[in-house]
């Protein structure tokens, strides 16, 4: 964190030919008020020292005994002759040393009073994987972030626990909208409830994603650290991003429903299901989390807390299992020893599916998505410049990966984000073994309340499709972290998944509702309500 912030400040000073103090003031003008935790750092930064040196001098970065010295930038030339990279750290400026003590809390943003309350809310959300603002406790919210309706369909009555997205209509919703799909009331022409007229027998179903950070759609805007593009507008979405854990599920491949504001476009399984049957409106749940390894643990307690589906009262659901890398990705030095084994995968996935079978309404479907081949990352990014390195051509993704790997348990995937080709191959070999376990489960296991399907993660098809559109493979990867699928990759992947489902499992998607146009016409006549 320190290296990132100091890099941006130093590059702002360089780009605008200003002092460090002026650069800090400029950055603070860009950032919304209570997030200005870096606005007291100007006294500690020297443009002649790179960010690694500054952060070690502030004691925000350190070298543990017997461990390698972690640095993002190449050592300054004047220090290469010394006994260590930071041998020449300034030791003759007592004011700097005294002031640096006040920045020890910088490594934890939650130590700042203005952010403490928000941090407590986020901790609650992370513990429970449920909306923080949920008056009636039905696991749906009228508030967008903090696991609110960016993650689950928007509640239309947060004071009534029997009203929520995805339920079967109460008495055909003649008097109120019990399932929040916007269809309720009685047609005055014939006295038939609209829900009965348009949605009866329509095979309505929702979509639920059980995923990792890729499913949550982790994204850090590159303009936050590209000084040539930086402005106040760049940070306008910082509060929302922070309270959504730097995830953007509202634009994601499975549950996206808003037009993307982070590049590319939004296309999702939910939007296509909604277009196919307008009665599916708002029936979505994105139960994903950054950094969690679902298949390496017993999922039942997690699902019992987070999944909102009543077997007796609700519509069936399409549940997508898509932890595309976490079972082989970790930040450990001995990364292979910490990967999920095929035996563990089989046991834990079957346990999770048995839990789902006892809670999903009859007629549901489960899609198991295979793991990605992450060699794509190194092959397409390692020699390109990271956003932090574009101004001075001094930070490649290879350097970033090495820096993150050096910081123990910080790298998102030590097995793939490495110059060690043998390790990359072994990681992909394990990923393929685990995918084969999922494929065999889909082939051999049977459940009472859902059928089960398997599909490979469509990376190769996505890259081919993007090339046909004139794109480059590296554009399918998030530019800041160099690891997650980008907005473009998410949108293209949706189309590939949809076509496979249409041709191979049409029963999963349900039939097309012949009344869609009439429903939209009535909405339009009523001003969109």
pLDDT in tens, 127-136: 778 999 999 9
Share of the chain above pLDDT 70, in %: 88
Q: What is the pLDDT of residues 92-109, one digit of tens each?
A: 343 333 333 333 343 456
Q: Is the pLDDT of residue 310 over 50?
A: yes
Share of the chain above pLDDT 90, in %: 75
CB-CB contact of 282 with 153 (8 Å)? yes
Query: Are residue 229 and residue 374 in the same domain, yes or no?
Result: yes
> How many domains does the chain contain in total?
2
Antiparallel, parallel or unpaired: β 364-369 and 450-455 = parallel
Mean pLDDT, the chain, whole residue set = 89
Which residues have CB under 8 Å from 470's CB, separation 6+?
Answer: none
Structural domain contains residue 513: yes
CB-CB contact of 167 with 314 (8 Å)? yes
Per-residue pLDDT at 524: 75
CA–CA gap between residue 234 and residue 181 (Å, rounded): 34
Per-residue pLDDT at 80: 44
- Which domain CATH number covers 299? 3.40.50.1110
Per-residue pLDDT at 527: 58
Structural domain contains residue 153: no
Of 72, 89, 108, the position where a domain reaches its end is 72
Per-residue pLDDT at 526: 65
Structural domain contains residue 221: yes
Q: What is the pLDDT of residues 386-438, one digit of tens each?
A: 999 999 999 999 999 999 999 877 899 999 999 999 999 999 999 999 999 99
How many beta carbons lie within 10 A of that of residue 259, not counting itself?
Answer: 9
Q: What are phi and psi of 305, to 5 degrees?
A: -85, -35
CB-CB contact of 454 with 440 (8 Å)? no
> What would the two tokens of residue 57 be?
């001098």
Of 72, 101, 126, the position where a domain reaches its end is 72
| Active-site residue identified among 42, 57, 178, 213 | 213
Q: Is the pLDDT of residue 47 over 80?
A: no
Per-residue pLDDT at 44: 65
Per-residue pLDDT at 529: 47
CB-CB contact of 41 with 9 (8 Å)? yes
Structural domain contains residue 419: yes
Structural domain contains residue 265: yes
CA–CA gap between residue 405 and residue 72 (Å, rounded): 11
CB-CB contact of 13 with 23 (8 Å)? yes
CB-CB contact of 453 with 368 (8 Å)? yes
Q: Is the pLDDT of residue 342 over 60?
A: yes
Structural domain contains residue 295: yes
Per-residue pLDDT at 41: 61
Residue 240 CB burial class (10 angstroms; 0-12, 13-18, ≥19): middle
Residue 319 CB burial class (10 angstroms; 0-12, 13-18, ≥19): buried
The region of weakest confidence among 29-43, 215-229, 320-334 is 29-43
Q: Is the pLDDT of residue 493 over 50?
A: yes
Range of the domain at 219: 204-523
Q: What are phi and psi of 206, to 5 degrees?
A: -100, 180
Q: What are phi and psi of 319, to 5 degrees?
A: -100, 125
CA–CA gap between residue 390 and residue 395 (Å, rounded): 7
Q: Is the pLDDT of residue 7 over 60?
A: yes
Per-residue pLDDT at 462: 98
Residue 91 CB burial class (10 angstroms; 0-12, 13-18, ≥19): exposed
CB-CB contact of 290 with 216 (8 Å)? yes
Antiparallel, parallel or unpaired: β 284-288 and 317-322 = unpaired
Q: Is the pLDDT of residue 255 over 50?
A: yes
Of 22, 44, 72, the position where a domain reaches its end is 72
Q: Is 213 a catalytic residue?
A: yes
The confidence band for 67, taking pLDDT boundaries of 50, 70 and 90, is confident
Q: Is the pLDDT of residue 379 over 60?
A: yes
Per-residue pLDDT at 99: 38
The region of weakest confidence among 15-29, 151-165, 385-399 is 15-29
Structural domain contains residue 107: no
């Amino acid at each position: 964190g320190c290296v990132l912030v100091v890099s941006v400040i130093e590059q702002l000073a360089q780009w605008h030919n200003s002092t460090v103090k002026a650069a800090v003031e400029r950055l603070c003008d860009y950032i919304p008020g209570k997030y200005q935790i870096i606005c007291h750092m100007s006294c500690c930064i020297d443009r002649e020292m790179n960010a690694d040196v500054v952060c070690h001098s502030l004691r925000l970065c350190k070298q543990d005994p017997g461990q390698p010295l972690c640095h993002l930038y190449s050592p300054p030339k004047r220090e290469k002759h010394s006994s260590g990279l930071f041998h020449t750290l300034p030791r003759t400026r007592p004011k700097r040393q005294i002031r640096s003590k006040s920045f020890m809390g910088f490594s934890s943003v939650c130590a700042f009073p203005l952010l403490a309350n928000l941090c407590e809310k986020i901790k609650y959300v992370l513990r429970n994987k449920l909306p923080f603002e949920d008056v009636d406790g039905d696991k749906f919210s009228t508030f967008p972030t903090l696991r609110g309706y960016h993650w689950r369909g928007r509640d239309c009555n947060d004071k009534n626990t029997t009203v929520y997205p995805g339920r079967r209509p109460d008495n055909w919703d003649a008097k109120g909208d019990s399932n929040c799909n916007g269809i309720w009331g009685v047609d005055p022409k014939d006295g038939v409830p609209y829900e009965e007229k348009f949605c009866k027998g329509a095979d309505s179903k929702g979509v639920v994603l059980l995923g990792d950070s890729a499913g949550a759609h982790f994204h850090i805007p590159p303009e936050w650290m590209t000084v040539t593009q930086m402005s106040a507008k760049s940070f306008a979405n910082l509060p929302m991003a922070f309270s959504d854990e730097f995830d953007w599920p509202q634009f994601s491949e499975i549950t996206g429903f808003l037009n993307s504001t982070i590049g590319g476009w939004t296309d999702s399984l939910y939007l296509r299901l909604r277009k196919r049957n307008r009665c599916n409106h708002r029936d979505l749940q994105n139960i994903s989390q950054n950094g969690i390894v679902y298949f390496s643990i017993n999922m039942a307690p997690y699902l019992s807390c987070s999944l909102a589906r009543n077997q007796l009262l609700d519509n069936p659901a399409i549940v997508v299992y898509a932890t595309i890398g976490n079972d082989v990705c970790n930040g450990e030095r001995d990364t292979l020893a910490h990967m999920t084994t095929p035996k563990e995968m089989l046991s834990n996935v079957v346990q999770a599916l048995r839990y789902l079978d006892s809670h999903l309404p009859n007629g549901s479907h489960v899609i198991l998505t295979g793991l990605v081949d992450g060699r794509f990352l190194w092959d397409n990014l390692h020699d390109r410049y990271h956003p932090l390195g574009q101004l001075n051509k001094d930070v490649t993704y290879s350097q970033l990966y090495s820096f993150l790997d050096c910081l123990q348990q910080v790298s998102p995937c030590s097995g793939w984000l490495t110059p060690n080709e043998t390790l990359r191959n072994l990681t992909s070999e394990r990923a393929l073994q685990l995918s084969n376990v999922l494929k065999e489960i889909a082939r051999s296991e049977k459940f009472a309340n859902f059928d089960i399907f398997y599909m490979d993660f469509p990376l190769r098809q996505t890259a081919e499709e993007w090339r046909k559109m004139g794109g480059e493979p590296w554009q399918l990867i998030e530019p800041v972290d160099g690891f997650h699928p980008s907005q473009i990759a998410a949108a293209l992947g949706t189309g590939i998944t949809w076509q496979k489902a249409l041709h191979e499992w049409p029963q999963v998607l349900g039939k097309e509702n012949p009344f869609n146009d009439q429903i939209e016409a009535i909405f339009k006549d009523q001003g969109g309500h």
